[in-house]
């Protein structure tokens, strides 16, 4: 790993960083049509969904960083203790150096370029490991980066296992990984050998809780939308539903009806409905349906690699579909009677990346927010918390560590250097030996 470009100090100025962000924005817009074709080839994404979930969020991230970068970069004055009088304290934001960004295949544009925006804004150089499963999109990303940046500043590699293993042995200054908890452990273990700090954006089984006070048709529409986005291949997709017993049947019906309204009588033939990334993942999803009680859906087409949204009556919470992250259009529904059951069920499992609550009850809202840990989420909607720049996005426990988006992304790729400056005109002798009985005076001063 060559740090020559970073060591030159080129990346430190505001003008350089904003200029590079503008280059990225210009390049992204110039490759827009190519991304539409590539995302459709890899994941069956429509133009609308490609803009909504890939290109648009990155452009928003760039614009937000450009507007706020000057204030983010300014050293901040902080108060100091009387013990250090006369003195002043400042916090200086500085880049880590050269960072490694390992991105996944499910949102290959957004989850590669959004972290890159934060890394550039913070003044770092970057190495991007591009996903091989979404090969068409990775090829476009490779050309975009080569056109926009010098190789010494930002460069790309193919993210196959051999290359990633080699990259993880390098002493990067920071590693940002998005992917599964299983691979996240490998990344963290490799980073530990060089004492490299990491952000891990992982996943997990994100619950969706629907109580009897919820607007059932609206809840169903928003759940179906969140689950079918990218055909369920979303780290924060609703993984399963916990439905209050009294509204379970109404919710089943509403989910089926809303799915039909959104994608028609034959969703598999609908061009707005994405496909599964490859045969391996498709067959894994098919296997999850074995032995399950299917309430609606269940049809699939191996040739198109598409599967209908399949609603399950989850009789066995120990079945594979309830043990692993689904990452596809399968939605188990589990009834509950009390909120204590909900709390016990969710908290008995690894902490989820997302949680979605549909309710009109302030009491229920307070209880769930206070007593169930999770990365982030929504009340009366799904997914959309990701695109609010003022909210941090990240996991907790098994669903990840660290956060980004907006200022939180700048913070992730920034070391905050605390500096205290002492005046020379007064030097109180309390701290110097001989100490004698000065401890009582020190106690008073520290109060």
Tokens for 245, please give them: 């017993």
What is the structure's pLDDT at 81? Answer: 85
pLDDT band at 446 (very low <50, low <70, confident <90, very high): confident
Q: Is 115's pLDDT higher than 70?
A: yes
Question: 371 by DSSP, 3-state: which?
Answer: helix
Q: Is the pLDDT of residue 1 over 80?
A: no
CA distance 366 to 229: 28
Task: Write down the catalytic residue from 125, 208, 228, 235.
Answer: 235
How far apart are the two ends of the chain, measured CA to CA in Å? 49
Q: Mapped to the 3 state alphabet, what secondary structure does 227-290 carry?
A: HHHHHHCCCCCCCEEEEEHHHHHHHHHHHHHHHHHHHCCCHHHCCCCCCCCCHHHHHHHHHHCC
**Nearest alpha-carbon partner for 313 in 395, 253, 361:** 253
Which residue, chain included where needed, has tokens 């904003």?
18
Strand partners, 100: 127, 175
Secondary structure class of 125 (helix, strand, coil): strand
The phi, psi pair for 200, rounded to 5°, reads -120, 110
- Does position 104 have pLDDT exceeding 70, yes or no? yes
Catalytic residue (choose from 49, 54, 61, 201): 201
Q: Of 176, 184, 123, give the one whose Cα is nearest residue 153.
A: 123
Query: pLDDT category, 14, cuts 50, 70, 90?
Result: very high
Percent of the chain with pLDDT over 70: 100
The answer to whether 325 is a known catalytic residue is: no
Give the mean pLDDT of the chain: 96
Question: Residue 265 catalytic?
Answer: no
- Lowest-pLDDT choice from 20-29, 81-90, 412-421: 81-90
| pLDDT at residue 368 greater than cutoff 90 | yes
Dump pLDDT digits (tens) for 171-196: 999 999 999 999 999 999 999 999 99
User: Is the pLDDT confidence value at 281 over 70?
Assistant: yes
Least confident of 213-217, 270-274, 428-432: 428-432
Work out the average pLDDT over 207-221. Answer: 98
Give the mean model confidence (pLDDT) for residues 217-241: 98
| pLDDT classification of 402: cutoffs 50, 70, 90 | very high
Task: Name the β-bridge partners of 154.
Answer: 126
């Amino acid at each position: 790993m060559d740090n020559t470009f970073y060591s030159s100090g080129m990346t430190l100025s505001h003008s350089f960083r904003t200029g590079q962000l503008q280059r990225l924005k210009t390049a992204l817009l110039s490759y827009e049509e190519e991304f539409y074709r590539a995302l459709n080839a890899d994941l069956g994404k429509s133009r609308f969904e490609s803009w909504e979930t890939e290109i648009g969020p990155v452009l928003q991230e760039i614009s937000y960083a450009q507007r706020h970068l000057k204030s983010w970069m300014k050293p901040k004055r902080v108060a100091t203790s009387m013990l250090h009088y006369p003195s002043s304290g400042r916090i200086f934001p500085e880049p880590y150096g050269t960072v490694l960004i390992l991105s996944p295949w499910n949102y290959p544009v957004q989850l590669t370029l959004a972290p890159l925006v934060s890394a550039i804004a913070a003044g770092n150089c970057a190495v991007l490991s591009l996903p091989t499963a979404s090969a068409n999109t990775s090829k476009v990303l490779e050309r975009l980066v080569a056109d926009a940046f010098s190789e010494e500043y930002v460069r790309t590699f193919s993210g196959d296992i051999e290359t990633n293993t080699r990259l993880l042995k390098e002493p990067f200054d920071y590693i940002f990984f998005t992917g599964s908890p299983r691979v996240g452990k490998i990344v963290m273990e490799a980073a530990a050998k060089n004492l490299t700090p990491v952000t891990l954006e992982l996943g997990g089984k994100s619950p969706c809780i629907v109580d009897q006070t919820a607007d059932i048709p609206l809840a169903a529409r928003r759940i179906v939308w969140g689950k079918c986005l990218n055909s369920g291949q979303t780290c924060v997709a609703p993984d399963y539903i916990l439905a209050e017993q009294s509204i379970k049947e109404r919710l089943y019906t509403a989910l089926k009806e809303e799915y039909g309204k959104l994608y028609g009588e034959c969703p598999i033939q609908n061009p707005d409905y994405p496909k599964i990334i490859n045969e391996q993942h498709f067959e894994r999803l098919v296997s999850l349906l074995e032995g399950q009680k299917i309430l609606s859906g269940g049809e699939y087409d191996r040739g198109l690699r598409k599967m209908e949204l399949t609603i399950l009556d989850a009789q066995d919470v120990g079945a594979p579909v309830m043990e692993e992250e689904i990452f596809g259009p399968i939605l188990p529904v589990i009834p509950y009677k009390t909120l204590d059951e909900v709390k016990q069920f969710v908290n008995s499992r690894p902490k989820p990346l997302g949680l979605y609550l549909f309710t009109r009850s302030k009491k229920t809202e307070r209880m769930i927010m206070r007593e169930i840990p999770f990365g982030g989420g929504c009340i009366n909607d799904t997914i959309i918390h990701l695109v609010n720049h003022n909210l941090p996005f990240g996991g907790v426990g098994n669903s990840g560590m660290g956060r980004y988006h907006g200022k939180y992304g700048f913070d992730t790729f920034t070391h905050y250097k605390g500096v205290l400056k002492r005046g020379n005109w007064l030097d109180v002798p309390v701290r110097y030996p001989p100490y004698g009985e000065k401890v009582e005076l020190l106690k008073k001063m520290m109060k």
